Amino acid sequence: MKIDTLMPALPPAAAAQQAQDIESAGYDCAWTFEATNDAFFPLAFAAAATTKLDIGTNIAVAFARTPFSMAQTAWDLQNYSNGRLRLGLGTQVRAHVERRFSAPFDHPAARVTDYIRCMRAIWETFQNDTRPEYEGEFYRFKLINPFFNPGPIDHPNIPVYLAGVNPRMCRAAGEVADGFHVHPMHSVSYLNEVVRPALDQGAKTRGLSVTDLELYAPVFVITGETEAETRRVERRVREQVAFYGSTPSYGALLVHHGFRDLGKKLNGLMREGKTKEMAELVPDALLEEVAIACPPAEVGRRLRERYDGVLDRVALYLSITGEAGFNRWDELISSIHAA
């Protein structure tokens, strides 16, 4: 199991310094995310400042960019980082894709599958100067000339990860991706009973299995050096779980654990702006399934116990929040790597 971390958007010098600190600490990969800022800019600064650290997006919104623009950006970062990029893509949800990005969202699983295949065809042309002949259901790549072709690079095989929650998107990842971004709000039983079988079903269409894909997830961890600190972290985790639970896309997990009506209640409170009440509605039983709660010294052991054989890479979700509930990073990294 590898231990990764999440890296927020920062100014160039600060991003470079943080990447160096992450590399020095012994992390395996630094993942950016697309929220208030673009996911790719920090990776360019991180690539220039490090030599061993893998860099990746978790996630970049696929439909916000054309396959060619995504392929071009990834090609540059793969070249600049000397082969250390992991390109994580996600579809986002219909409302944001259509109303925020002004992009189409119909048949998202089929569309993103076609998107990734088109992108790989573009990379093939970049590397081997093959004639552009891709014609998919949603995307096409039929034209290029030397002025627009960046040419070959030393590490042309860029690992592509796809994010998902529901079985259909998991099957899509199995069909075309190298890795899978597990959503932070997950449980081991949902992974073993829903996600991994769907990934395996998709992978079999190309002669592979789920074990050929790399699974990565940020994990909710509730911990702290004091009781008050632990309570603050727990509150933040409850708020995040409530936020995710209010989105219909994550309803399958709630249903899986017997909380069929919880999503509708959370969504209703979200529409009313009652965020405090949302967090209070999260059952303890659900929190136990989607989060690890333990003293700081036990975090590494609990991660291993819960995810050995289930995930290949983990990160602590709380590192994205700036919470002070965990400050034993060296100890955590050492315990994970020792295992």
Dihedrals phi, psi of 304, to nearest 5 degrees: -65, -45
Q: What is the mean pLDDT of the chain?
A: 93
With contact defined as beta carbons under 8 Å apart, do 170 and 199 qualify?
Answer: yes
Q: Which of 53, 276, 287 is nearest to 184 (CA)?
A: 287
DSSP string for residues in 207-269: T--GGGSEEEEEEEEE--SSHHHHHHHHHHHHHHHHHHHTSGGGHHHHHHTT-TTHHHHHHHH
What is the predicted pLDDT for the residue at 297?
83
pLDDT confidence tier of residue 327, bands split at 50, 70 and 90: low
Q: Which residues contact 271 (CB under 8 A, 6 or more apart)?
A: none
Determine the 3-state secondary structure of 86 from DSSP.
strand
**pLDDT reported for residue 328:** 61
Q: What is the mean pLDDT of residues 264-270?
A: 94
- Global pTM reads 0.93
Give me the mean pLDDT over the 16-20 stretch.
95
**Cα(111)–Cα(329) distance, rounded to whole angstroms?**
39
Q: How many other CB atoms sit within 10 Å of the CB of residue 49?
A: 19
Which pLDDT score is estimated for 229? 87
Both tokens of 305, joined, read 């116990």
Cα end-to-end distance, the chain, whole Å: 8
Residue 328 tokens, joined: 């034993």
Q: Give the pLDDT score at 307.
A: 96
- Cα–Cα dist 328/25, whole Å: 11
Domains and CATH numbers, the chain: 2-222+294-338 (3.20.20.30)
What pLDDT sits at residue 318? 66
Q: Whose CA is closest to 317, among 182, 143, 212, 115? A: 182
- Per-residue model confidence as pLDDT tens digits over 269-310: 999 999 889 999 999 999 999 999 998 888 888 999 999 999
| Model pLDDT, residue 321 | 44
Rg (CA), the chain: 20
Local structure of residue 194 (DSSP, 8 states): I
Tokens linked to 169 = 């998107």
Q: For residue range 148-196, list pLDDT tens digits in order.
A: 999 999 999 999 999 999 999 999 999 999 999 999 999 999 999 999 9
Which amino acid appears at position 228 of this protein?
A: A
Q: What are phi and psi of 161, to 5 degrees?
A: -105, 150
Residue 79 has pLDDT above 90, yes or no: yes
Question: What's the pLDDT at 334?
Answer: 75
- Scan for tokens 């990934």, then name that residue: 199
